[in-house]
Amino acid sequence: MSGTSERGKPKILVTDPISEEGLKRLREFAEVDIALRLGEGELAEKIRDYDALIVRSGTQVTRKIIEAGRKLKVIGRAGVGVDNIDVEAATEYGVLVINAPEANTISAAEHTVALLLSLARKIPQANKSLKAGEWDRRKYMGVEVRGKTLGIIGLGRIGAEVARMALGLGMKVVAYDPYVSQERAKELGVSLLPFDEVLKAADFLTVHVPLTDETYHMISDREFEMMKDGVRIINTARGGVIDEAALVRAIKSGKVAGAAIDVFEKEPPRDNELLKLEEVIVTPHLGASTEEAQRSVAVVIAEEVQRALRGEPVKNAVNLVYVPAEILDAIRPFLTLAERLGKFTAQIISGRIESVDISYQGEVATKDTRLIGIAMLKGFLSQFADVNYVNAQLIARKMGIRVTETKTEDAENFSSLIGITVKTDNVERTVAGTVFGKNDLRIVKIDGYRVDAVPSGYMLICSYIDKPRVIGPVGVILGDHGINIAAMQVGREKIGGRAVMVLNVDNPVSEDVLEKVKTVDGISDVKLVKL
Ligand code: NAD
């Protein structure tokens, strides 16, 4: 691995406190330095030597820092939110950003249920009152949750866990999540309903959506208006999902009986009306604040950073498409093939690149092909730029290359075909390949001519007119220069028409020899490819 310490271990810099267990995991494979509370300039200076940076929310990972991190390959966020990381700059520099969103799930769900019960039984208010010397049993009369309906907005990781726990408490659970299937909801024992129906049905309503343009203030005056009188509201997701001002109005009007809030539009909240209301109970963003969650995020991020540094797929890459492990296994040979086809094509074109079309035919077209496309671009662009899986698409865009994809069912007698067509200001070339058996990669078409070539090592690609005394002289020239031919393939449009010859050779071919091959009568173009 490049950019490692002298002892061959990668170097990792940790700039926010993470759990001892996480550090222990990191030290098993890396040289780890901890430097807390660094200023931007100090960190930019220090980052130069490191392969990976691990942060929580305390470190601002700015463009300047990412630019300075010449060896930097991965930034790990021990937690969920990556708003303290300039993900765009990281992508531009090909630095993978990973987080650990699952490690918090149980803690956030338990905190939600703790707030649900606290809200039902007014525990925080009663606690405060008793400690203030009062003994008021009537004022803190509560309600049971069993038999009540819990409305969940957002049935993702945390929402689903909250559903499971609420069902355990004997609650009825209804949910709204346009991106979750009925089967998944059924599996959880939850009724998936339209948004308004969930609002109308809920005795308790809890939100578990990310904060996006779509979810910003998704619970506001109109929504409170539709709810049952005496509804209770919980927000452990993100401040801003619930319109705080509207919630204050709904509580003051008596529509909402109580609210439990862990997250605020502005944190820490200042002069926030919610904090002044007796019906509102609050915690200072404690959803993920458990020993277990903190340990778990650190261990998960350590393992993920290790995978990323080894070049293995990671589960939670913020700036790379996620493909589940089982699908990745199925498409892995196509990733290698795609990369080689891209690299191959880059070496047989000339001129200013205008567009790249990536095609998927047959069975492969029915799969999640996003990563295959990125692999193809990565291979293609690697001839012109420093590129990796993270920045391939961005670099293509910056080079002004139009990238399109086409998918067709028909794969012309193959079970699957993937292809690349590159247009430049003076040529257009198409190369397609397939995988035979498990892992037998082949180039099967070049510019429409059928060939059967193994894409590896040194290859000589000759365009010529099909006639006698072309192939022989090419072989002789190579032989005269001590170049051994390992395999040879020809493809032609018709007898006497245009043809292409692909030779796998055991040694590099010098410019001189290429020039000699070009002089053979009938040969119109010769390109040497190295894969
Ligand atoms: P997740 O991505 O697993 O689930 C989010 C769900 O919301 C998904 O199922 C998605 O389909 C759904 N969704 C997205 N847009 C929607 C919309 N417009 N309407 C309805 N549903 C929509 O995320 P998660 O891990 O369950 O986290 C949920 C929230 O909890 C996030 O906002 C996260 O930031 C927050 N969180 C808070 C704490 C805390 O400390 N309080 C800790 C962890 C996570």
Residues 28 and 127 grouped into a single domain: no
Q: What percent of the chain has pLDDT over 90?
A: 84
Residues 405 and 493 grouped into a single domain: no
Residues 79 and 218 grouped into a single domain: no
Would you say residue 3 lies in a domain? no
| For range 472-501, the mean pLDDT | 92
| pLDDT tens column, 217-251 | 999 999 999 999 999 999 999 999 999 999 999 99
Is 179's C-beta closer than 6 angstroms to any atom of ligand 1?
yes
Task: Identify the residue whose C-alpha is closest to ligand 1 atom 20.
Answer: 177
| pLDDT tens column, 39-61 | 999 999 999 999 999 999 889 99
| For range 181-190, the mean pLDDT | 92
Q: Are 149 and 203 in contact (CB under 8 A)?
A: yes
Would you say residue 115 lies in a domain? yes
Would you say residue 2 lies in a domain? no
Q: What percent of the chain has pLDDT over 70?
A: 99
Residues 36 and 68 grouped into a single domain: yes
- Residues with active-site annotation: 238, 267, 285
Residues 80 and 128 grouped into a single domain: no
Per-residue pLDDT band for 3 (boundaries 50, 70, 90) equals very low
Q: What is the pLDDT of residue 210?
A: 86
Q: What is the pLDDT of residue 5?
A: 52
- Range with the lowest mean pLDDT among 197-201, 282-286, 359-363, 386-390? 386-390
For residues 507 and 204, the model is more confident at 204
Residues 298 and 396 grouped into a single domain: no
Task: Identify the residue whose C-alpha is closest to ligand 1 atom 8.
Answer: 156
Is 158's C-beta closer than 6 angstroms to any atom of ligand 1?
yes
Domain boundary among 455, 484, 500: 455
d(CA 199, CA 144): 20
CATH of the domain at 49: 3.40.50.720
Would you say residue 388 lies in a domain? yes
Q: Describe the crossing of helices 291-309 and 20-27 by its angle, rounded to 10 degrees.
A: 20
Reading the block at residue 432, the tokens are 């397609």
Would you say residue 314 lies in a domain? no
d(CA 102, CA 109): 11
Q: What is the pLDDT of residue 272?
A: 97
CATH of the domain at 425: 3.30.1330.90
Instruction: Evaluate the omega torsion of the peptide bond into residue 268 and state whether it is cis, within 30 degrees of 0.
Output: yes
439 burial (CB, 10 Å; 0-12 / 13-18 / 19+) is exposed
d(CA 77, CA 92): 18
Calculate how far, in angstroms, residue 209's C-alpha sits from the geometric centre of ligand 1.
Answer: 3
Q: What is the pLDDT of residue 316?
A: 86
Is 180's C-beta closer than 6 angstroms to any atom of ligand 1?
yes
Question: Which domain covers residue 245, as residue numbers?
Answer: 105-282
3-state secondary structure of 290: coil
3-state secondary structure 235-247: ECCCCCCECHHHH
| For range 456-481, the mean pLDDT | 94
Residue 388 has pLDDT above 90, yes or no: no
Is 210's C-beta closer than 6 angstroms to any atom of ligand 1?
yes
| pLDDT tens column, 319-341 | 988 777 777 888 889 999 999 99
To test the ligand 1 pocket, which listed residue (112, 209, 235, 265) has its Cβ within 8 A of the most ligand atoms?
209
d(CA 88, CA 373): 20
Residues 19 and 115 grouped into a single domain: no
Would you say residue 128 lies in a domain? yes
| pLDDT tens column, 140-152 | 999 999 999 999 9
Residues 368 and 433 grouped into a single domain: yes
| pLDDT tens column, 413-457 | 999 999 999 999 999 999 999 999 989 999 999 998 999 999 999
Residue 373 has pLDDT above 50, yes or no: yes
Residues 240 and 124 grouped into a single domain: yes
- Per the structure, the count of domains in the chain is 4
d(CA 24, CA 145): 43
**Nearest partner of 396 among 343, 447, 349, 356, judged by Cα:** 356
Q: What is the pLDDT of residue 330?
A: 84
Residues 487 and 438 grouped into a single domain: no
Would you say residue 317 lies in a domain? no
Task: Identify the residue whose C-alpha is closest to ligand 1 atom 37.
Answer: 237
Reading the block at residue 484, the tokens are 């051994």
Residues 125 and 156 grouped into a single domain: yes
Residue 16 has pLDDT above 50, yes or no: yes
Q: What is the pLDDT of residue 124?
A: 98
Q: What is the mean pLDDT of the chain?
A: 94
Residues 236 and 367 grouped into a single domain: no
Is 445's C-beta closer than 6 angstroms to any atom of ligand 1?
no
Would you say residue 1 lies in a domain? no
CATH of the domain at 497: 3.30.70.260
Q: What is the pLDDT of residue 34?
A: 97
